């Protein structure tokens, strides 16, 4: 008597064909190719899990269309199709509220939204605020938030759900008209205990009287902050930030980025507050626009007309290192020859970082300007106020010529040309 000793053979189609490491390499090659990632996600569960982390890692809910291309929504009462289209923000909220797809929220690391973009401009404010709050509540691993034209309700939601996890915050196009708005902004910043990077663009805090006080208010940034980028703000915002740095809870920054508008303005409170440890980066752009407070124009040396702005904006700097970020317009070399001469004595190391993406070069068009810059650097060095000047640009043609263009600075060994840096990073 014999027994049937045969064993079932598992279906090879159900077995793993590749180890996770190989699958991860395959998907890794497609991180910048969203259509291919979508296709890969349909192959199998393993590839779906790997692809979804890239597909939903960075979510942009900014609607730039006038409605074309959005999935049609249905009326809650009749179930019929409405004439308008459902914005991205509502579609994403629906995805997170669906039990079958709610898990996708844990893949999101960066979220970008603009409540004033596209069809969202016509959405009722209360409904929109509730939708944004619902989204933020379901992103447990979100570390970066970008908000343009946000409202106070959005700050309250971020404070409630993201205070312990947010590391990067970018806020643009905000006007704080009253005391309540200022206080809610301060409450949000105070709650972000792990924030390391803050970017503020096109802000206006208004006059002290507008926010319910008779004197300037201090805006205190999170103590965990290491880097800040403040551009396009009014003098009240800069002054509030400077006063905030006088607080015992104020952060100690490693770097601070700000724009330079060629206007006579006093930032001494800000610079004193930031202190001497941070590397200050001033974005001078191409400098070729008329400064609002310029009353005189030097026809013999037009760039000298900007000296009062150079002096006033940098007055109070106590850091030892300053970076000037700019385009590649050849007029900049003569501009820097004046700028170097009027910088505060505390600055001993200067870096001039040319935007590699700029198309307004070449920098070496005016050789006389390089002679003037070389002379200005040597004068500063002779006074014991210059230890190093570094030039950085990923376009290699001009950097290779800089030692010859600034040969006196090269001879005394204060000149450095950075060939390693590929792109600007704060």
Tens digits of per-residue pLDDT, 109-131? 999 988 776 555 556 777 888 88
| pLDDT for the residue numbered 298 | 59
| C-alpha span between 161 and 159 (Å, rounded) | 6
Contact (Cβ atoms closer than 8 angstroms) between residue 70 and residue 85: yes
CB atoms within 10 A of CB 253: 21
| pLDDT for the residue numbered 82 | 37
Q: Is residue 296 a part of any domain in this protein?
A: yes
Last residue of a domain, one of 6, 34, 55: 55
Give φ, ψ of 405 to 5 degrees: -75, -30
| C-alpha span between 19 and 92 (Å, rounded) | 32
Structural domain count of the chain? 2
Q: Is residue 180 a part of any domain in this protein?
A: no
Any idea what DSSP says for residue 122?
G
Give φ, ψ of 12 to 5 degrees: -65, -25
The closest alpha carbon to 166, from 145, 138, 137, 190, belongs to 145
Contact (Cβ atoms closer than 8 angstroms) between residue 93 and residue 102: no
Q: Is residue 151 a part of any domain in this protein?
A: no
- Tokens matching residue 314: 């940098």
The closest alpha carbon to 242, from 315, 325, 307, 193, belongs to 315
What are the Cα distances from residue 151, in Å, to 12, 67, 109, 147, 154?
55, 23, 22, 9, 5
Q: Enumerate the H helices of 65-204 as residue ranges.
A: 88-97, 125-137, 152-162, 179-191
- Domain of 22 in residue numbering reads as 18-55
Contact (Cβ atoms closer than 8 angstroms) between residue 314 and residue 281: no
| C-alpha span between 1 and 243 (Å, rounded) | 96
Ordered per-residue pLDDT tens for the chain, 426 residues: 444 444 444 444 445 566 666 767 666 767 776 777 777 777 777 777 777 787 888 899 876 554 433 333 333 333 333 334 467 888 899 999 999 999 999 999 999 988 776 555 556 777 888 889 999 999 999 999 999 888 878 888 999 999 999 999 999 988 877 778 888 889 999 999 999 999 999 888 766 544 445 456 889 999 999 999 999 888 888 888 999 998 888 999 999 999 988 788 889 989 998 989 899 999 998 765 544 444 555 566 778 888 888 999 999 999 999 999 988 888 888 899 999 999 999 999 999 998 877 766 667 778 899 999 999 999 999 999 999 999 987 554 566 788 889 999 999 999 998 877 766 777
3-state secondary structure of 317: coil
Q: Is residue 82 a part of any domain in this protein?
A: no
Pairing of strands 349-354, 321-326: parallel
Q: Is residue 328 a part of any domain in this protein?
A: yes
Last residue of a domain, one of 10, 36, 55: 55
Q: Is residue 64 a part of any domain in this protein?
A: no
Q: Which residues pair with 388 in a beta bridge?
A: 349
| C-alpha span between 124 and 397 (Å, rounded) | 54
Last residue of a domain, one of 38, 55, 72: 55
3-state secondary structure of 80: coil
Query: Count of alpha carbons within 13 Å of 28, Cβ hemisphere only?
Result: 6
Task: Classify residue 312 as exposed, middle or buried by CB count within 10 Å of its CB (0-12, 13-18, 19+).
Answer: middle
Q: Is residue 171 a part of any domain in this protein?
A: no
| C-alpha span between 185 and 172 (Å, rounded) | 13
**Beta strand residue intervals within 314-387, DSSP E:** 321-326, 349-354
| pLDDT for the residue numbered 178 | 73
Q: Is residue 353 a part of any domain in this protein?
A: yes
């Amino acid at each position: 008597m014999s027994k049937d000793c045969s064993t079932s053979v598992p279906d090879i189609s159900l077995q793993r064909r590749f180890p996770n490491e190989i699958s991860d390499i395959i998907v890794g090659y497609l991180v910048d190719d969203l259509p291919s990632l979508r296709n890969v996600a349909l192959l199998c569960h393993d590839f779906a899990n790997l692809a979804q982390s890239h597909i939903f890692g960075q979510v942009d809910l900014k609607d730039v269309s006038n409605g074309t291309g959005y999935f049609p929504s249905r009326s809650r009462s009749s179930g019929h199709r409405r004439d308008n289209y459902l914005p991205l923000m509502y579609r994403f909220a629906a995805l997170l509220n669906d039990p079958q797809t709610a898990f996708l929220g844990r893949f999101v690391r960066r979220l970008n939204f603009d409540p004033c973009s596209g069809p969202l401009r016509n959405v009722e404010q209360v409904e929109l605020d509730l939708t944004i709050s619902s989204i933020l509540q379901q992103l447990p691993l979100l570390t970066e938030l970008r908000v343009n034209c946000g409202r106070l309700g959005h700050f309250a939601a971020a404070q409630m759900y993201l205070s312990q996890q947010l590391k990067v915050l970018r806020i643009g196009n905000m006007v704080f008209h009253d005391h309540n708005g200022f206080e809610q902004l301060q409450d949000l910043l105070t709650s972000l205990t792990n924030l390391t990077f803050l970017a503020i663009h096109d802000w206006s805090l208004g006059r002290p009287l507008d926010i319910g006080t008779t004197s300037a208010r201090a805006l205190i940034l999170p103590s965990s902050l290491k880097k800040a980028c403040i551009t396009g703000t009014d003098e009240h915002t800069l002054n509030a930030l400077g006063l905030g740095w006088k607080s015992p809870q104020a952060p100690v920054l490693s770097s601070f980025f700000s724009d330079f508008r060629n206007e006579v303005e006093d930032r001494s409170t800000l610079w004193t507050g930031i202190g001497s440890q941070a590397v200050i980066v001033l974005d001078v752009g191409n400098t070729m626009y008329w400064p609002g407070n310029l009353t005189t124009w030097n026809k013999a040396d037009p760039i000298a007309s900007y000296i009062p702005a150079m002096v006033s904006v940098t007055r109070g700097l106590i850091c030892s290192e300053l970076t000037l970020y700019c385009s590649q317009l050849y007029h900049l070399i003569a501009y820097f020859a004046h700028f170097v001469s009027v910088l505060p004595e505390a600055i001993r190391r200067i870096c001039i970082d040319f935007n590699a993406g700029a198309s307004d070069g070449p920098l070496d068009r005016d050789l006389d300007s390089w002679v003037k810059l070389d002379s200005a650097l040597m004068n500063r060095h002779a006074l014991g106020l210059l230890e190093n000047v570094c030039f950085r640009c990923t376009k290699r043609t001009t950097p290779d010529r800089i030692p010859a263009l600034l040969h006196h600075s090269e001879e005394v060994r204060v000149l450095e040309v950075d060939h390693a840096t590929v792109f600007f990073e704060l």
